[in-house]
Amino acid sequence: MTTVLECRALTRTYPGDVQALVDVGLEVAAGEFVAILGRSGSGKSTLLNLLGTLDRPTSGSVLIDGVDVTTMSDRELSGVRAQKIGFVFQQFHLSPLVSVLDNVAEGLLYAGVRHAERRRRAAVVLERLGLGHRLSYRPHLLSGGERQRVAIARAVVGDPAVLLADEPTGNLDSVNSAAVVALLRELAVTGTAVVVITHDHEVAAAMGRQIELRDGRVVTNAAAGPR
Amino acid sequence: MSRLAGTDLVRLAGRGARGHPVRFLLSALGIGIGVAAMVAVAGITQSSKAELSNLLEALGTNVLKVYPTADLRGRPSMLPRTAAPMLGSIGPVTAVSGLTVLQSEAAYRSPYVPSGQTSSVLVTSVSTDLLATLRGQVADGHWFTATEQRYPAVVLGWAAARRLGVDAPGLRLWMHQQWWVVVGVLRPLPLAPELDSSVLVGGSAAQDYLGADGTLSAVYLRVPEDQLGPVERVVPPTASPEHPELVGVSRPSDALAAKLVADATLNRLLLGLAAIGLLVGGIGVSNTMIIAALERRPEIGLRRALGATRGQIAAQFLAESLVMATAGGVLGVLLGDLVTVVYAQVQGWPLSLPLWVSGAAVLLTVLVGAVAGLYPAVKACRVPPTEALSST
Ligand SMILES: Nc1ncnc2c1ncn2[C@@H]1O[C@H](COP(=O)(O)OP(=O)(O)O)[C@@H](O)[C@H]1O
Ligand SMILES: [Mg+2]
């Protein structure tokens, strides 16, 4: 499998000499389903921000689809995010002002896709994720599980190479968690590299590989569990 | 990177408005009130100008007033009785009408009013063609007929009728130990405002009943516009061959024309005040957008994560500010135009709503919106992309 996401000797030091991430190197191939584990404060979100080009490393480099993004301008990084990376957040970040369909279509807004085409593709993705009956709903009328699926639809509507999720099941009960994890696995099967932060070992066990962080360092990086 | 389409920006800006409709409306209203004031001042000015120039058009600017000036010792003088026919014989003059203020006369509602309580109303004898020369109009009743000007009949100036409490012709006034019947009341005479507060008496009646000697306090002439200069020069020796130095000439329409200019100063002041209102409205919009930029950090972070550039975030906030200000501008123009329409209606003026005023007002609010949105837009686009995750 081709490597789509890679980091080398990644270090992030926050002001006040907080070493949030120290010398982290890892590779994720297309179609891989990877869990990032670790206690609170171990550097998981910091790593995800760096892998997703939302933040810049103190040293080291990040390669997406084989391209080093560390030296790119802010504008170029925006383009990388619009074209190659999808994000899923713990608290969904859906707009209550527009429909489910328009929330998902927003995922293509900055990729230069025209309005009608954005909505058409959003409808296709929502249909595929089993939310075809919710297109015109406002997000707040949906259950938490459905909302997270809408957020996932928004993340993948642009068909990104990499999907990054920070505690996507953090606000969900176990039934909805399982459904969301199953959905993410399906996306991995179709060729997306899926990286999920979780501190739930049960959730992590369902994934193809577990990377564990402790004090900003990788302590485990092993394939385990059913794949 | 790909730029946002204009329609996408409008859509995003509209969503900002829907997110906080009350806040949006109040901020827009702030701009709207300033704009309404500006548009109303401009509209009312234009309408009153239109009214004045209509009036000048109707009255003509080709009337000359000939009057006696005080002599060297400061005593008031009179024009000789021959002045009117002599002035009428000047070639280009098309109409001549003389009048005499009868200083010793006074008019009363009844014989029992103590003499001296004259309600500051003058008695003036006029020639019967005066109304035509001044293009005056009768409000009620009629002007002197050929017979009435020889009998004890009077026509009241507009203000004189009010001061004497005469609201309709047919009433009588007590003057020079006898009754005089009121046959008409005039509308205001803009070319001879001194007659508005006069009781007018026919020339023959003034001589027969009041013993007037026929000397004149003023003569009004109508002259073709292009002959005004030459005529003006020959007026003094013609009116008073013996004392041409005691003859003054003026052009009554000049006072009306001057009003057109004089109003401009006040209007500039009012426009200035309205502009301050607009400025305050702009500060309100800016404030609202700064609050939005602070409140919506997670949304901004999300958009950056979805691939928005700093420029696109700035454009979104700028667009919201523009939509807010422009909505206020349109509201203000409608409000200002409405005020103008109502005001002109009440004043009985012709309505003048120049399109450029409304257009300029809306353009101005677009400018205000752009300036007001600048700082909030910069603030918003500086929110780091990690903001979406950091609230986890
Ligand atoms: N913006 C920041 N400024 C300073 N310190 C930070 C910042 N973000 C995170 N940290 C610190 O870095 C460490 C790792 O944080 P984080 O990556 O959020 O961990 P996790 O997501 O695993 O809980 C923590 O000690 C945290 O306090
Ligand atoms: Mg975290």
Structure confidence by residue, pLDDT tens digits, B128-177: 899 999 899 998 888 988 888 888 889 989 988 888 888 788 888 888 88
pLDDT at B117: 66
Structure confidence by residue, pLDDT tens digits, A168-187: 998 889 888 998 999 999 99
Q: What is the mean pLDDT of residues A102-129?
A: 95
A40 within ligand 1 shell (Cβ under 6 A):
yes
pLDDT at A191: 93
pLDDT at B391: 59
DSSP B222: E
- Contact list, A115 vs chain B (CB under 8 Å): 5, 7-8, 11
Contacts 24+ apart (CB under 8 A), A119-126: A121/A157, A122/A153, A122/A154, A122/A157, A125/A153, A125/A156, A125/A157, A126/A100, A126/A101, A126/A150, A126/A153
Interface mutation vs chain A, best among B309, B316, B320, B387, most A CBs within 10 Å:
B309
A37 within ligand 1 shell (Cβ under 6 A):
no
A→B interface, C-beta within 8 Å: 45, 48-49, 52-55, 74-75, 78-83, 87, 89-91, 93, 95, 97-98, 106-107, 109-112, 114-115, 154, 166-167, 170
Region of poorest pLDDT, from A130-139, B4-13, B23-32: B4-13
- Amino acid identity, residue B168? A
pLDDT at B172: 86
CA B314 to centroid of ligand 1, rounded, Å: 28
CA B155 to centroid of ligand 2, rounded, Å: 97
pLDDT at B1: 45
- Contact list, B303 vs chain A (CB under 8 Å): 110
Identify residues whose C-beta is under 5 A from ligand 2, the ion.
A 45; B 392
Which residue did the predictor score with more confidence, B317 or B82?
Answer: B317
Whether the predicted pLDDT of A49 surpasses 90: yes
- Contact list, A114 vs chain B (CB under 8 Å): 5
Phi and psi torsions of A90, nearest 5°: -60, -40
Ligand in nearest proximity to the CA of A41: 1
Which residue did the predictor score with more confidence, B353 or B2?
Answer: B353
pLDDT at B2: 60
DSSP B353: -
pLDDT at A226: 45
Contacts with B120 (C-beta within 8 Å, 6 or more apart), sequence order: B163, B197
pLDDT at B168: 82
Whether the predicted pLDDT of B118 surpasses 90: no
- List the residue whose alpha carbon is closest to atom 20 of ligand 1: A41
